[in-house]
Amino acid sequence: MADQMAERNASSAFLERKLEADGFTIRYLEAGPQSGGAHALICMHGAGGLRLSRMHEILARTWRVIAFETPGFGTSKANERSRDMAELAGSLCAAVAALGITAYNLMGTSFGGKLATYMALQEGEKLQSLILISPAVFRPAERPPMATPEDRHKLMHAHPERFPVTLSNPEVDSKQETLVRRLIGPPRDPALEEKLPGLSVPTLVVFGTEDRLTPPEMARCYRQHYGNAHLMLIYDAAHRVDLDRPEAVAEVVGDFLARKERFLVSEQSGVIHP
Amino acid sequence: MKAALFNPIRYGGPSPSGWPVAPSAYDLEIGQRSMLDALENLRLADQLGFDWVTVAEHHYAGFSLTPNPMVLAGALTQVVKRAKIALLGPIVPVLNPIRVAEEYAMLDNLTGGRVIAGLLRGTPNEYVTYNINPAESRDRFEEALALIRRAWSEPEPFGWQGRYYQYRSVAVWPRVVQAPHPALYMSGSSPESGAMAARNRLGLGLAFTTVPLASQAARFYREEAGKLGWQPDPDQVIYRMGFHVAETDEQAMADMVESGGDKPHVGLTMSNKAVLAGAMASGYFGKAAEEQRDRVAPRDAAERVEKGQILLGSPETVWRQICRVRDEVGAGILDLFPTVPIADRTRRSIEVFGTKLLPRLHEN
């Protein structure tokens, strides 16, 4: 219940807005300091749709957090126009430009991690850092069963009993799933993998140690293929690491956003008593 | 003068540059053979009359396979029967100081009091290893030093309410054999470290530096000690450098060329730009930040000889190079590590040094 409340509070701190880009009306949630494009963190959600967590709330204390709802998700119309991930990524890059943002950080969760990767390939120097949370760029050949909401719920959390099963709208679920299946591509995509070494943007790849949907063993693929990737495993968290351990994820993501690769060197004081 | 053989256990196979290095590059057979070769070389050094054998702590790369020098020193207690075993040393600010005190006490018992206790701050990348803020390394070091000394000497259990360390009860068993405790050293290339060594009456280790810079650092250390009313003896200044001795100068250089060691290489400190930038921003190098660039600048073999970073050549040539270190740095201990990582050539170099140079060294 407390987590549910925290999540509601997190969401309530964000303002809902809409913008027009590339022929789509895109809903987005925004919070945090309005101090210009350099401090923006653009967030791309996973296949389950736009759902904020306490992680977003914590990050919004320092960063201008903008969470887009990908066209075809949530209350938006079914997206039958985007032919592939690259095209969808292009629409979202246009959405960022429509906000007047010229340099930004990008975070993608699960399916959104793959979408964010395509955006990164298009944005080049505009991108200051790339954060991939339980990303679905590399996936195991077999997926665990997700037939019922209960199955899905168990897959999302390391301790599912701590979270209520979220009620969803079957029509929305069906629309989103159709779009994801059409666009996500194969578990290993040689055409995409060929381009990844050229992605020199500082990249943080975050996996939960208990993730069974995108197992943490996949994390090494990012290190091997992306041009500049750092791996971070979140202990005792599953696919929704940001719901399971929001403070832990927010701390390392915030540090990476602030210091990029220099996040390797601790700046935390070890003083117990002065 | 005295001589030590330092063996960091360099990984004998190809290892990618940079830091950290992916564990996937580690070949199990090569790695295990590297460890056995190192033990054999240190056993040989003991037999040849080297005064010390030394080990160090480094992490996450093939440069050194000793993330815990205490473990290697434990093995050496069963191999090295005469020489002193010097740990130069554990990187104290990233470790639990009570554990360091306990492990040293074990080693001192296992060797009958032949342990030399270096306490180091290490290279800045090691702070990433255990996620410790390098900006606090000096303060952590000085507190850990006081705590370790106290843990070795206090006869009753005591608590410690420090700035960085907190214990409700400390009572180290076994006690150290040497009284009041093993000889202590720290590294001291910067003025801050030299002053700290003088203030705490520690020996000074000068490593991966140049003769002019080491000379300057040793002079500063002696001056600081003088101001405090004491003078370090020659054994309290260690100069660590690479070495390769062969029958002739030509053979020594040919060995260097064959191993690839003649070319400039990037050391641990410079291997990761983000870590180096973080260390510089933290003030890790203190007032010696400019000198640090000179110390770790990549150089070819000839330049390293000229800067006094390696001994290279025939016994006669190397003797002249040793005299320069003795005269300019005033080091009483030469801590030598092999620079040609080819097993039989390294072994031969140790033998030639032991038979042709050690006797002369001991006379001086």
CA–CA gap between residue A249 and residue A41 (Å, rounded): 15
CA–CA gap between residue B350 and residue B347 (Å, rounded): 5
CA–CA gap between residue A63 and residue A31 (Å, rounded): 8
Q: Give the residue carrying structure tokens 């940001």.
A: A242
Q: Which of A265, A266, A267 would best serve as a mutation to test chain B binding (most B beta carbons within 10 A)? A: A265
CA–CA gap between residue B104 and residue A149 (Å, rounded): 58
Which residue of B163, B275, B279 is in closest CB contact with A272?
B163
Task: Please report which helix (H) or strand (E) contains residue B310, including its range.
Answer: strand B310-313
For B272-328, the pLDDT digits (tens) are 889 988 888 888 888 777 777 777 788 999 999 999 999 999 999 999 999 999 999
Number of alpha carbons in the 13 Å side-chain half-sphere of residue B8: 26
Q: Give the residue carrying structure tokens 């090691």.
A: B126
End-to-end CA distance of chain B: 6
Closest CA of chain A from B168, distance in Å: 14
Helices (H), chain B: 28-48, 69-76, 97-110, 125-129, 137-153, 191-199, 211-227, 249-259, 273-282, 289-296, 301-306, 315-329, 343-352, 358-363
CA–CA gap between residue A7 and residue A5 (Å, rounded): 5
Residue of B nearest to A220 (CA): B22
CA angle A145, A147, A152 (to 5 degrees): 75
Q: Is some CB atom of chain A closer than 8 A to the CB atom of B25?
A: no
For B62-90, the pLDDT digits (tens) are 999 999 999 999 999 999 999 999 999 89
CATH classification of A2-140+147-189+200-258, choosing from 3.40.50.300, 3.50.50.60, 3.40.50.1820, 3.40.50.720? 3.40.50.1820
**Pairing mode, strands A64-68 and A40-44:** parallel
Residue of B nearest to A230 (CA): B20
* Cβ atoms within 10 Å, residue A68: 25
Closest CA of chain A from B341, distance in Å: 29
Torsion of Cα atoms, B311 then B317 then B319 then B321, to 10°: -50
Q: Is some CB atom of chain B closer than 8 A to the CB atom of A255?
A: no
B133 to A268: CB separation less than 8 angstroms, yes or no: yes
Which residue of A260, A269, A273 is in closest CB contact with B161?
A273
Judge if the upstream peptide bond of residue B20 is cis by omega within 30 degrees of 0: yes
A273 to B278: CB separation less than 8 angstroms, yes or no: no
User: Is the CB of residue A244 less than 8 Å from the CB of residue A236?
Assistant: yes
CA–CA gap between residue B314 and residue A67 (Å, rounded): 69
Residue of A nearest to B23 (CA): A220
Q: What is the DSSP letter of B4?
A: E
Tens of pLDDT along chain A (274 residues) come to: 334 434 444 455 899 999 999 999 999 999 998 865 558 999 999 999 999 999 999 999 999 999 999 999 999 999 999 999 999 999 999 999 999 999 999 999 999 999 999 999 999 999 999 999 999 999 999 989 888 888 999 999 999 999 998 778 999 999 999 999 999 999 999 999 999 999 999 999 999 999 999 999 999 999 999 999 999 999 999 999 999 999 999 999 999 999 999 999 999 999 999 9
CA–CA gap between residue B47 and residue B44 (Å, rounded): 5
Going along chain B from its start, the domains and CATH numbers come out as: 2-363 (3.20.20.30)
Which residue of B22, B133, B163 is in closest CB contact with A273?
B163
CA–CA gap between residue B181 and residue A124 (Å, rounded): 59
Closest CA of chain A from B59, distance in Å: 15
Above 0.95 for ipTM, yes or no? no
A262 to B272: CB separation less than 8 angstroms, yes or no: no
Task: Please report which helix (H) or strand (E) contains residue B119, including its range.
Answer: none
Instruction: Kindly list the residues from chain A whose CB atom is less than 8 angstroms away from the CB atom of residue B135.
Output: 267
DSSP letters, B50-105, are -SEEEE----SSTT---S-HHHHHHHHTTT-SSSEEEE---BGGGS-HHHHHHHHH
For B86-99, the pLDDT digits (tens) are 999 899 999 999 99
Residue of A nearest to B131 (CA): A266
Q: Is some CB atom of chain A closer than 8 A to the CB atom of B281?
A: yes
Give the start-to-end residue ranges of the domains of chain A. 2-140+147-189+200-258
Question: Closest Cα partner for B197 from B223, B160, B165?
Answer: B223
Length of chain A: 274
CA–CA gap between residue B88 and residue B56 (Å, rounded): 5
Which residue of A266, A269, A272 is in closest CB contact with B127?
A266
Task: Please report which helix (H) or strand (E) contains residue B26, including its range.
Answer: none
Which residue of A259, A262, A270 is in closest CB contact with B136?
A270
A266 to B272: CB separation less than 8 angstroms, yes or no: no
Q: Is some CB atom of chain B closer than 8 A to the CB atom of A170?
A: no
User: Hey, is B260 helix, strand or coil?
Assistant: coil
Which residue of B127, B166, B278 is in closest CB contact with A262?
B278
End-to-end CA distance of chain A: 39
Rg, Å, chain A Cα set = 18
CA–CA gap between residue A203 and residue B12 (Å, rounded): 32
Instruction: Kindly list the residues from chain B whose CB atom is less than 8 angstroms away from the CB atom of residue A272.
Output: 162-166
